[in-house]
Amino acid sequence: MKHPMLARLTDWLIVVLLLAGCSPTIGRTSVDASAYTTMGCNDLNDALANVAKEISRTAIDRGRVARTEIPNWVPGGTRVATAVTDRQTAKIENLQEQERAIAAARDQACARR
């Protein structure tokens, strides 16, 4: 028999996964690199740090979802978990594209002369 606290945690996690599966999917969006051309070096460094943190946070969440053992009695649970990890992978790819655009703008604007 499961510990009551563990059972509640499992139920909560299942609800979160099911709700996440109902949210709209993240599509591929292109990054507007021109938005970074007017930023200064410090702002670009801050933006790059924020994007890197968001990539890490999303990758950690994706790993947690992928490792979650969903009980067999949850209808569509595995499908939802797969959809959530796919959505998080797409988000990471978009963030990485943004990271590359910021890094390129920083390299150009902040190059030592």
Angle (CA) 92-100-34 rounded to 5° is 115
Tell me which residue of 57, 89, 67 sits closest to 17, measured CA to CA: 67
What amino acid is encoded at 91 in this protein?
Answer: K
pTM exceeds cut of 0.85: no
The per-residue pLDDT for range 58-101, each reduced to its tens digit, is 999 999 999 988 888 888 888 999 999 999 999 999 999 999 99
Q: Which domain holds residue 92?
A: 4-109
Number of domains in the chain: 1
**Helix-strand-coil percent breakdown of the chain, rounded to 5?**
75, 0, 25
What amino acid is encoded at 28 in this protein?
Answer: R
